[in-house]
């Protein structure tokens, strides 16, 4: 019983810490979804308020909880949720254009927009999985369309900056989610807002039993809300051969451009002393993933959470892939 209680306490703290550092004041119900066992909301609130291990580290106000020092998020929650909803609608329109291309398997919004904690200066982070050997074809179309949307928005005085922060083809991603079993990966994948490819997303959730073991209630909740979407366009053999060649050509071309752009962006962050925004660009034939210092710090927060089993971790997978 004592071990079970310690697991709950540890999970509460790590969940609130990650959320606060991502700009979100968590509700009691949102915390409950991340716990390893069932916990009544009244009992959870009592734990947060009365347990010295938790109460010394967090603040609670009107059923919302933040890490101490992040109390400003209480008053910002409504504004951040409103901004996130606005950006999500922009993303839906944008993805509506992308779905004309048959190469996308799963397109979702991640980051602050998915968490409902966006501010006006945030980008709209896209989470994209494509068909095998089609990633760079799809990446180029997405990049060009994003640039067009950005120009159009700036003309009208709006903002629509899309960031292709996580793009992989299905082969690379399925290996990633199979071997890189960390709590942050699980929580991020369960938190994305799927815009197209719900059937594929549901299939991935069904396959990834380790995610269910880490966050059983959030996993079940996500499966429940997903609607089946089995629509899929198939390319013919000749078109497929041509696309194989085009995909490799675009990869070799964009790899240099994106690496140089990442270098310039990191230099800008260093000049502005935004050290937590520095990132590593992993660019391969089947993946383009930007991993920031802030993300690695959040991963360490979950690594220190004793409520997660260490035996499932394989944190060196991304490094081995390179």
Per-residue pLDDT of 236-247, as tens digits, reads 555 667 788 888
Q: Up-side HSE of residue 37: CA atoms within 13 Å toward CB?
A: 13
Q: Which residues pair with 59 in a beta bridge?
A: 66
The two tokens of residue 105 are 């398997």
**3-state SS assignment for residue 285:** coil
Q: What angle do CA 161, 163, 167 make, to 5 degrees?
A: 150
Contacts of 191 (CB under 8 A, 6+ apart): 110, 114, 115
- Domain 2-70 maps to which CATH number in 3.90.550, 1.10.10, 2.30.29, 2.60.40? 1.10.10
Q: pLDDT digits over 123-181, tens only?
A: 999 999 999 999 999 999 999 999 988 888 888 878 788 999 899 999 999 999 988 89
pLDDT at 107 over 70: yes
pTM for the whole structure: 0.83
Domain 77-321 in CATH 3.30.460.10? The answer is yes
Q: 162 forms bridges with which residues in the sheet? A: 124
Domain ranges (residues) in the chain:
2-70, 77-321
Report the pLDDT value the prediction gives residue 3, as an integer from 0 to 100.
Answer: 64
At residue 15, the pLDDT reads 92
Same fold, 2-70 and 77-321: no
């Amino acid at each position: 019983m004592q071990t079970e209680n310690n697991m709950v306490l540890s999970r509460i703290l790590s969940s609130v810490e990650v959320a606060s550092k991502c700009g979100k004041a968590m509700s009691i119900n949102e915390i409950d979804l991340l716990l390893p066992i069932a916990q009544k909301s009244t009992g959870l609130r009592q734990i947060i308020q009365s347990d010295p291990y938790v109460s010394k580290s967090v603040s609670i106000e009107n059923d919302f909880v933040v890490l101490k020092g992040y109390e400003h998020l209480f008053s910002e929650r409504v504004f951040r949720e409103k901004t996130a909803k606005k950006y999500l609608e922009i993303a839906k329109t944008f993805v509506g254009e992308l779905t004309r291309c048959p190469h996308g398997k799963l397109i979702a919004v991640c980051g602050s927009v998915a968490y409902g904690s966006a501010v006006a200066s945030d980008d709209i982070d896209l989470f994209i999985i494509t068909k095998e050997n089609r990633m760079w074809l799809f990446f180029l179309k997405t990049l060009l369309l994003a640039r067009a949307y950005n120009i159009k928005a700036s003309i009208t005085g709006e903002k629509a900056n899309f960031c292709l922060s996580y793009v992989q083809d299905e082969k690379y991603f399925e290996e990633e989610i199979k071997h890189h079993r960390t709590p942050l990966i699980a929580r991020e994948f369960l938190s994305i807002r799927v815009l197209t490819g719900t059937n594929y997303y549901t299939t991935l959730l069904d396959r990834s039993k380790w995610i269910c073991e880490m966050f059983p209630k959030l996993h079940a909740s996500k499966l429940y809300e997903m609607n089946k979407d089995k629509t899929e366009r198939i390319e013919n053999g000749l078109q497929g051969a041509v696309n194989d060649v085009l995909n490799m050509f675009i990869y070799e071309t964009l790899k240099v451009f994106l690496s140089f752009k990442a270098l310039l962006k990191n230099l800008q962050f260093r000049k502005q002393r935004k050290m937590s925004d520095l990132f590593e660009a992993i660019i391969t034939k089947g993946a383009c993933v930007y991993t920031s210092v802030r993300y690695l710090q959040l991963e360490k927060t979950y690594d220190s959470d004793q409520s997660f089993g260490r035996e499932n971790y394989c944190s060196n997978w991304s490094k081995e892939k390179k």
